[in-house]
Structure formats: C-alpha cells, structure tokens
C-alpha cells in the first residue's frame, strides 16, 4: 500500500510531501519565534511525532510531550531519551498537572468536538501568569475536504477536523479559557509554500520573513493562525 503519511524526521522528502514538509517547518520556526522569554518548562499537548519538542529541547527547555497515540510517541522515542523529553500517552482531559510555564497546542483543538472544554482544560496545566501558545488551521473550508467513509457511508473530514476558525472565534475562545491575548499571528502562507517548493529554497530567516510579508498582503492565503496568551 502506498504511504500517504509524511515522515517529518526524514532528511529527504518524497516530491509529493515537499509542500507539506515546508508547511510544517514554516509553522514550527514561527511558533518558536513567538515563545516568551523565561519559559523553562513546557507541556506540549497533542505533540504528534515530536519534532517541535525536539526543537524546544535544543533550547534547554524541559519538555513534557503528551499524545493519545502511542504510535506517534514511538516515532521519536529515541530522540526523547536523548534530550530528556518526558513522554506521556494519555487522554489529556484525564491529566492533572498545573505547574508548567507554557502549554503548547498545535493543530489539535480543531479535532475535538467541544473545543472550548479543551481550551479550558489546557489552561489548567499552567500556573497563574503562565502562557498558552495555540495554533489551528485558519478559515479552513471543511466541506472541500470531506470524504465518504467506506465503513459507515457518512462523510467526514479527511484529516478529522471538526471546526473551522476565524481570528475572532479563536481569540474569543482563548479569552473564555482565562487567558489574556499577547500576540496573534497568521503563519505559513500558501503562496510562500508554492514558491519555496518550486525554487527548492530552505526554511530560514529570509524565507520566514517572506512568509510574514505574504501573510500581511494576502491574509486569506494563510494556512494557520497562532495565538500567544497569558493566563490571568
């Protein structure tokens, strides 16, 4: 069977995954730029295959990586051991932690039916004055990505997304979870992805700056919206 899942750890990506890989790298690097100073202890909820945790650990930050998928955690088990990243396989709604400087959630909230309850729970992981760094797809057209499930006959989103977020909807939900907004940022412009892939350009400071410019000019082409917020 053909593998249609990107391996974010692969140094060389198959041609069909190049745009997806660029999308991920642009997102990771720009989320890193949003990190506040003096953050030493982070919990990454819905960490997936852990590449962001690897980048954070290189900054000497203490990382707890949480995901409900054991398969995802296995993907970076050796990296986690090397960089002392603590892995927890659990439904985060059942996790009781409250002493982190920052809670990180990347492209996870849109998968949860009650996303407000998810944000409320995420806020409990950080101490007062701590931070939340959240990102979700921006103004996603859910109907355009619906496929028919062969088992049930029902139409579902091909990536399991249940919600589409405007800036107002996302920001208001984060505020309702007990946070004060610090920064809102559109990241990973589809035009930037297209040209970086076509010209075989790396993701670096110059191309990240290009992405920022394109998002300011063509916000409707942004792939994600990211919000940094401080817990009240």
Handedness of CA 144, 150, 155, 156 (dihedral sign): negative
CA 157 to chain centre: 18
Is the distance from CB of 21 to CB of 6 less than 8 angstroms?
Answer: yes
pLDDT number for residue 146: 65
pLDDT number for residue 172: 97
pLDDT number for residue 11: 54
pLDDT, averaged per 10 consecutive residues of the chain (232 residues), comes to 47 58 88 94 94 92 95 91 95 94 95 94 96 94 72 72 89 97 95 86 89 93 96 95
**How many Å apart are CA 93 and CA 163, to the nearest integer?**
19
Is the distance from CB of 126 to CB of 103 less than 8 angstroms?
Answer: yes
**How many Å apart are CA 42 and CA 58, to the nearest integer?**
13
pLDDT number for residue 198: 82
pLDDT number for residue 120: 97
Three-point CA angle 185, 14, 57, nearest 5°? 50
**50 DSSP 8-state letter:** -
**163 DSSP 8-state letter:** -
Is the distance from CB of 110 to CB of 136 less than 8 angstroms?
Answer: yes
**How many Å apart are CA 104 and CA 227, to the nearest integer?**
10
pLDDT number for residue 15: 52
Superfamily of domain 15-231 in the CATH hierarchy: Vaccinia Virus protein VP39 (3.40.50.150)
* Domain residue spans of the chain: 15-231
**What is the chain's percent helix, strand, coil content, to nearest 5?**
40, 25, 35
pLDDT number for residue 163: 81
**How many Å apart are CA 23 and CA 68, to the nearest integer?**
24
**How many Å apart are CA 53 and CA 63, to the nearest integer?**
7
pLDDT number for residue 201: 84
Whether the model pTM is above 0.85? yes
pLDDT number for residue 2: 37
């Amino acid at each position: 069977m053909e593998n249609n899942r990107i391996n974010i750890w692969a140094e060389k990506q198959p041609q069909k995954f190049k745009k997806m890989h660029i999308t991920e790298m642009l997102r990771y690097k720009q989320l890193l730029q949003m990190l506040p100073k003096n953050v030493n202890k982070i919990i990454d909820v819905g960490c997936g295959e852990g590449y962001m945790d690897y980048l954070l650990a290189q900054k000497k930050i203490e990382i707890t990586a949480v995901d409900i998928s054991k398969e995802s955690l296995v993907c970076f088990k050796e990296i986690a051991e090397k960089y002392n990243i603590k892995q927890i396989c659990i439904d985060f709604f059942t996790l009781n932690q409250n002493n982190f400087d920052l809670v990180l959630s990347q492209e996870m909230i849109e998968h949860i039916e009650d996303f407000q309850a998810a944000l409320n729970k995420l806020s409990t992981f950080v101490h007062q004055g701590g931070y939340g760094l959240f990102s979700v797809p921006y103004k996603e057209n859910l109907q355009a990505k619906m496929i028919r499930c062969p088992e049930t006959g029902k139409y579902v989103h091909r990536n399991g997304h249940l919600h589409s977020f405007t800036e107002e909807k996302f920001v208001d939900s984060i505020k309702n979870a007990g946070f004060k907004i610090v920064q809102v940022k559109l990241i990973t412009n589809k035009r930037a992805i297209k040209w970086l892939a076509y010209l075989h350009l790396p993701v670096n400071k110059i191309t990240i700056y290009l992405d920022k410019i394109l998002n300011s000019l063509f916000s409707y082409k942004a792939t994600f919206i990211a919000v940094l917020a401080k817990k009240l």
